[in-house]
Structure 1
Amino acid sequence: MASFPPVEAVVRAVQLLECLNRHPVSSIAQLHAETNVPKPSLVRLLQTLEGLGYVRRAPKAGGYLLTSKVRMLASGYHSEPRIVEVVAPLLDALTQAIKWPAALAVPDEGAAVIRYSTIPNSPLALLHSSIDMRLGLLTRALGRAYLAFCEDEEREALISLLDVADNPENIAAQNRASLDATLELIRRQGYALRDPKVRPVSNTLALPVFDAHRVVASVGVTWFSSTMSDEEAVKRYLAPLQEVAAAAKAALSEPAGPGQPEGGG
C-alpha cells in the first residue's frame, strides 16, 4: 500500500485515457458518465492531452479520440498486440493454402495501416514488404472493409479527419452520397474490393475482423488482376477469408490470458 494519498489529477487522467481507449469516439457526456469526473475538469484534461498530442477532437462527430501517439506509452512493453498474435498464424495458413499474400490492417486516424503481412511467405507477392504501409480508407479494400462496418460515430470521426492534400484518394469523401452507397454495398455483400482505378495491376478482397463488441481490424488477400477476374477471386477466396475472420473473432472475444494485452492493438 502507498504511504500517501494518490494524486487525484493523475488518477483522473489515467481513468480518462482508459475510457477513451474503450470507444472509437467519446463525447463529454459519455466520458462524464463513465468516469464521474466533472465536465469542466474533463474539458481541461482533454485540452491538456490534446496539447500533448495524445487526443484529437473530431468536431463533426462531436467528440474526442485517441491519436497514434498513445502507442508511445506502451513502447517499453514488447509483447505483440493481441490481434497480431491471433491473426498472424491464421493468415500464414491461408497463404500456405492459396499462395497469394494476405494482410492485417488496423485504423490509424485517416488510414488503414498494415500491421502484419504474409508477403515473405508468398511466392506471388508484388512487393518486398508492406508492414506499416498506410492505405486509404475510401479506396483500398482493407480501409473500406473497416470503414463500412465500424460504428457510425467512429465512421464520421474517421471521415472528418481525411485530407485530400495528405492523400489524393481521399477526394472520394467530397461526394458523400456516392461514398455512402459504396459502403452500403460493402455491408450488403459482406466484403470489400479495392477501387479499380487504384493500382489496377492487382486487387484485394477484404473483410472486417470483430472482437466481442465491434470491428477492430480488417484482413485481405491480394492477387494479380491478370490472373483472374474480381468475380473469380471472390468465388475462390471469400469463404477461406471468412473462416479466418470467424476464427479471429472467436479468439478475440475470449478474455485475455495472463500476460496478454487486452484489446485489439
Structure 2
Amino acid sequence: MTTTRPPHPDPASPRGPGPHAPGEPRERGQSPVGRAFQVLRCLVESGDDWGVRELANHLGMPPSAAHRALGMLEDEGAVRRDPATGRYLLGFDFLRLARVATDSFPLWRAARPMLQELVGRRDETALMNIYDYQRMELFVAACVESTQPIRYTEQLHKWLPVHAGATGLAILAFLCEADRERVLDQRGLPALTERTVPDRETLDRALERIRADGYAVSRGQRVPGAAAIAAPIFDRHRVIGDIALTIPDFRYPEDHLEEVAADVISCARAVSAAHGANG
C-alpha cells in the first residue's frame, strides 16, 4: 500500500527561520510567560533537543532569558534536561497533558464520527482544518484516511496558507471583508505551484463563486497532483475552519462533483451545528 503525503516545509526546524511567523506579533515574546511559550513552541515544533545558547540564538533572545524560561518550564515538568548532554527536551508531563488536551478537544470529538462517515461514503481522505485569526493561517486538526492504496494525507498541526488550495479558499471566502483584506495585504499571493491563483482579480472572482456555491474546489494549487473539495465550518459568530476531501488528481470526481461536494457541505454543516452555529 502506498500513501502519498505532500511535502511541507518546516519553518520551525532547528536550522530554519526564526520564531516569528509573518503576522505574529513580536510583543508576545517579551514577557516571561511569552518567552517561555516561545521556548516551548520551539521544542514542540522542532521535535529536537536544544542547548541554551543555541535556543537563544534561534529565538533571538538573550541567553539569560532563555535559561530563565527553560528553568520555569522545567520546574513545571514541561521540559526536562538530559543529564548526559545538558540539552533540553520536552517533559513527560507536558506530553501527557498534550495528549489529554487533544483527546478532549470538543470540536475534534464531535467531528471525528462525521469525518468517518464522509470517508465511508466517498473513500477519500477527510480533513478538519482550523483557522487561526492571529497567524492568518490554517492547520490540519484532524484527518481520517481513505482506504485507497494511493491517497493524499496531510501532516497534522503544520501551518498552511489560506490563499491557495480549496482547504484555504473555503475559509478565506467566508472571512469578513476586513479580515480577508488583512490576510491578503500582509500575506500576498505567493505562488506555491503554477496553478496557484495569480492575482487579486482572479482570486476575487473565485471567492465570489465559492460563497455562491458554498464550497471550494482546487486542483494542484498548493500541491502538484492533489485535488480538494472543501466547505466552511462556523461557530456562533464566524468561520473557524473547513471540512475537506483531499484526492489524487487522477481521481478527481469531475462527472459527479456536485454530489461529492454536497456530502462535504453536509459534513461541514453537521460539524458547525455541533459547535453552536445557527443555520
Q: With structure 2 as the length reference, what TM-score do the two structures score?
A: 0.57
Distance in 2, matches of 1:159 and 1:135, equals: 14
Asked if the contact 1:136–1:169 (Cα under 8 Å) also holds between the matched residues in 2, the reply is no
| 1:114 positional shift | 0.8
Asked if the contact 1:95–1:101 (Cα under 8 Å) also holds between the matched residues in 2, the reply is yes
Distance in 2, matches of 1:149 and 1:54, equals: 34
1:213-224 paired onto structure 2 within 5 Å? 213-224=237-248
Distance in 1, matches of 2:260 and 2:197, equals: 29
Asked if the contact 1:162–1:170 (Cα under 8 Å) also holds between the matched residues in 2, the reply is no
Q: Does 1:241 find its partner at 2:248?
A: no
1:77-96 paired onto structure 2 within 5 Å? 78-80=100-102, 81-96=105-120
Distance in 2, matches of 1:134 and 1:89, equals: 24
CA 1:233–1:84: 2 relative to 1, 3 Å = farther
Q: Which residue of 1 aligns with 2:273?
A: 250
| 1:125 positional shift | 4.8
Q: With structure 1 as the length reference, what TM-score do the two structures score?
A: 0.60
1:156-195 paired onto structure 2 within 5 Å? 156-162=181-187, 168-169=191-192, 175-195=199-219
| 1:51 positional shift | 3.8
Distance in 2, matches of 1:222 and 1:182, equals: 19
Q: Does 1:111 find its partner at 2:137?
A: yes
| 1:127 positional shift | 4.2
Q: RMSD between aligned alpha carbons?
A: 3.6
Unaligned runs of 5+ in 1: 1-24, 26-45, 56-68, 255-265
| 1:132 positional shift | 2.4
Which 4+ residue blocks in structure 1 deviate beyond 6 angstroms?
Answer: 170-174
List per-residue Cα deviations over 1:222-262 (Å, max 9, x = no partner).
223223443x35223112112211211211107xxxxxxxx
Of 200-209 and 187-196, the range deviating more from structure 2:
187-196
Q: Give, as a single letter, the amino acid of the residue that structure 2 aligns with 1:137.
A: V
Q: Give, as a single letter, the amino acid of the residue that structure 2 aligns with 1:116.
A: A
Asked if the contact 2:124–2:246 (Cα under 8 Å) also holds between the matched residues in 1, the reply is yes
The number of equivalent residue pairs is 192
Asked if the contact 1:138–1:170 (Cα under 8 Å) also holds between the matched residues in 2, the reply is no
Unaligned runs of 5+ in 2: 1-22, 35-40, 45-93
Q: Give, as a single letter, the amino acid of the residue that structure 1 aligns with 2:260.
A: Y
Secondary structure in 2 matching 1:212: coil
Q: Give, as a single letter, the amino acid of the residue that structure 2 aligns with 1:157.
A: R
Q: Give, as a single letter, the amino acid of the residue that structure 2 aligns with 1:86.
A: A
Q: Give, as a single letter, the amino acid of the residue that structure 1 aligns with 2:265.
A: Q
CA 1:189–1:54: 2 relative to 1, 3 Å = farther
Distance in 2, matches of 1:220 and 1:128, equals: 11
Instruction: Give % identity.
Output: 20
List per-residue Cα deviations over 1:169-218 (Å, max 9, x = no partner).
39968732222222112111211112545445231000000112111111
| 1:143 positional shift | 0.4
CA 1:184–1:49: 2 relative to 1, 3 Å = same
Asked if the contact 1:159–1:173 (Cα under 8 Å) also holds between the matched residues in 2, the reply is no
Q: Does 1:144 find its partner at 2:140?
A: no
CA 1:106–1:54: 2 relative to 1, 3 Å = farther
1:23-42 paired onto structure 2 within 5 Å? none
Distance in 2, matches of 1:208 and 1:225, equals: 22
